[in-house]
Structure formats: C-alpha cells, structure tokens
Amino acid sequence: MKNIKNLFIEKSIHLFLLISVSITILTTLAVIVLLGKESIAFFSEVSIISFLFGTNWSPLIEPQSFGVLPLVCGTMWIVFGSVIFAVPVGLLVAVYLSEYASDKVKSFLKPILELLAGIPTVVYGYFALTFITPLMKWFNPEIEVFNAASGAIVVGIMILPMIASLCDDAFSAVPSSIKQGGYALGANTFEVIKDILIPATKSRIGAATVLAVSRAIGETMAVTLAAGATARLTGDPFGSIQTMTAYIVQVTMGDAPAGGVEYLSSFAVGTLLFLMTLVMNIIGNQWVFKSRIRVV
C-alpha cells in the first residue's frame, strides 16, 4: 500500500518537473519563432544593410528611415557608462566585503546589497529623474532633463549589487590556504588582493562584467525614464537618446499601428537585441566555465 503511494508521488513529481521544463523550452521557442517571423516580414520591406548600417532612425515621421545605429548608439552609451562605473565600484565592494569587513559589518551590508538588487527598475527610473538629473543640472544647468549620462549612472547603480556579489563569490572560492601562503611571506592585505586574489579570479570577474553588460543592454524602464526617447547618433552623453529597448516599449505602447512596417521594426530591433544579449551570455558562461577549471 505504502509502496504504491510512494510510486504515485514519485511519478507525479516527475511529471510536474517535465511540464515545468517543457514550459520553459516552449516559451523560448515561441519567442524565437515570433521574433523571427515578424523580422522576416520587416526585412521584406526594408533591406538588412540599410537597417544595420543606416544612421537615421525615424520610423514614425515621414520620410521613414530605419537605420538602427542611433538606437545601438543609445544602448551603447548606457552600457559603457554603467559598466565603467559599476565594475570597478562593484569590485571594490567585493574586495571590502571579503577581505576587510568584519563579520558584523558583512552581515549588515550583504542584505543591503540584496535589497538594492530587488528594487523595481521603475523606481530606479524615478530616482534618476528626481535625484540624479537635478544633481547633474545643479553642476551644469545646460544639461537636458532627459540625458544618457543620468541613465547610465542609474543603470550602473542597478547592476552594482550583482557585480559585487558575483565578485564576492569568486573571491570566496579562492582557498584561504592560498591567501595564508601569501601572508606567510610577509605580504599585506593589499598585496594579497592585488597579486593573488584578483589574478586568480580574473576570468570570473570578466564573466561578471559580461553578465553586467547584457543586463545593461536589456534594461528598459529606468533608461526610458532617465534618458528619454530621441533616437540620436551622438557623442554627447548629456543629451536625450533612445535605446533599443526604449524604442520597443514606445512602439508596443501603441505609437504605431499594428501590422505596419513601423510596428514590425520593433521586432527587428528585438531580434538584434536578443542576438546581442545571447552572444554576451555565451561569452560570459564560457568564461565562468573556464575559470571553474582553473581555480580549484
């Protein structure tokens, strides 16, 4: 009797897991099929070359033009700005957490980092608009209300906890016996960090950076609120831009009639975004994989 019950539970769990896995795979496939189908429709009207290399993006205003580079440029401003800020600071936070902070400080700081990571991104957008941008304008009133720098800073703050905790994990994976070997040779903490800890974890730090980049690429709400919706191929980070994700939101929110080429363009942008993130994630995973083998 008991055996039959156990067998039933076993089978049910198995089935449940199978269904969960299938849902995940089917969702991914559905996204790819949808993106692919609409993108093909888009590229039957606009050439891939003029899409990928065009420097003018004006899908909603006549004469229409579908050069995606201004959107890519907007995304890149956000990515580079945020990563250049978040990676060094995140690394410092991780170094502090793993080598300098006492257990007491650590037990206080770690939950704060987790809390930061859990704040809805739209709140970060408000934060940028109502705090970061006014602060910047206080230094220089010429700066536009919507600007790339403010968006980059806020995305940097958003991805900081992730980088800090990934680097902290990497540091704690270095056996303490190796660090002790360093101290036993008369090294100070700084020397152990610089010459042992960071070199031993550099591939994992690289992987954290790559993951941070793909998060910054995909970030939408905060960026739309902070950096605006003007697609521009520009070298000025203090003016309004539009990122790829922000454009997709704009179209989906009803700025373009469904079925038209404007509407389809958002799927082409989505496909490009998907490919960019995919490539970054593959590179990142490979880095993590390689580092698992290297550092015991």
Partner 1 sequence: MSASASENSEIILETKDLNVFYGDKQAIHSVNMQVKKGTVAALIGPSGCGKSTFLRSLNRMNDFVSTARVDGKVFYQGKNLYSKKVDPVELRSQIGMVFQKPNPFPKSIYKNITWGPKINGFTGDMDLLVEKSLKRAALWGEVKDRLHDSAFDLSGGQQQRLCIARTIAMNPDVILMDEPCSALDPRSTQAIEDLITELKRRYTIIIVTHNMQQAGRISDETYFFHEGNLIESGDTKQIFTKPSVQMTEDYITGRFG
Cα–Cα distances in Å, from 8 out to 3, 5, 158, 195?
9, 5, 45, 56
Q: Does 181 bind partner 1 (CB under 8 A)?
A: yes
Q: Does 183 bind partner 1 (CB under 8 A)?
A: yes
- For the CB of residue 165, give the shortest distance to partner 1 in the complex, in Å: 21
Indicate the helix (H) or strand (E) that contains 58.
strand 57-58
Q: Which of 217, 220, 214, 215 minimizes the C-alpha distance to 249?
A: 220
Angle at 160 between CA 156 and CA 165, to 5 degrees: 165
- For the CB of residue 288, give the shortest distance to partner 1 in the complex, in Å: 16
Q: How many residues at the interface with partner 1, by CB under 8 A?
A: 22
Compare residues 134 and 181 and give the one whose CB is closer to partner 1.
Answer: 181
**Are the CB atoms for 147 and 139 separated by under 8 Å?**
no
**Are the CB atoms for 216 and 281 separated by under 8 Å?**
no
257/197 Cα distance (integer angstroms):
55
Compare residues 110 and 137 and give the one whose CB is closer to partner 1.
Answer: 110
Compare residues 174 and 216 and give the one whose CB is closer to partner 1.
Answer: 174
DSSP-based three-state secondary structure for 57: strand
Q: Is the peptide bond before 63 cis (omega within 30 degrees of 0)?
A: yes
Q: Does 187 bind partner 1 (CB under 8 A)?
A: yes
Q: Pick from 80, 89, 101, 191: which binds partner 1 (CB under 8 A)?
A: 191
Contact string 100-119 vs partner 1 (x = CB under 8 A): ---x----------------
Piece in contact with partner 1 (CB under 8 A), picked from 21-29, 46-54, 156-164, 175-183: 175-183
Piece in contact with partner 1 (CB under 8 A), picked from 2-10, 147-155, 194-202, 243-251: 194-202
- For the CB of residue 208, give the shortest distance to partner 1 in the complex, in Å: 18
Structure tokens at 266: 């958002």
Considering only residues 199 to 258 of the shown chain, the ones binding partner 1 according to CB under 8 A are 199-200
Q: Does 296 bind partner 1 (CB under 8 A)?
A: yes
- Beta-carbon contacts of 174 under 8 Å, excluding residues fewer than 6 positions away, are 196, 197, 200, 201, 295
Exposure of 116 in the CB half-sphere (CA atoms within 13 A)? 19
Compare residues 175 and 259 and give the one whose CB is closer to partner 1.
Answer: 175
144/58 Cα distance (integer angstroms):
21
**Facing residues of 66 across strands?**
57
Exposure of 60 in the CB half-sphere (CA atoms within 13 A)? 15
Q: Does 185 bind partner 1 (CB under 8 A)?
A: yes
CA torsion sign, 275 to 281 to 285 to 286? positive
Compare residues 191 and 236 and give the one whose CB is closer to partner 1.
Answer: 191
Piece in contact with partner 1 (CB under 8 A), picked from 24-32, 36-44, 195-203, 219-227: 195-203
- For the CB of residue 96, give the shortest distance to partner 1 in the complex, in Å: 16
Piece in contact with partner 1 (CB under 8 A), picked from 130-138, 140-148, 156-164, 188-196: 188-196
Q: Which of 226, 188, 196, 214 minimizes the C-alpha distance to 295?
A: 196
Piece in contact with partner 1 (CB under 8 A), picked from 65-73, 148-156, 183-191, 250-258: 183-191
Site residues, partner 1 (CB under 8 A): 103, 175-178, 180-188, 191, 195-196, 199-200, 294-296
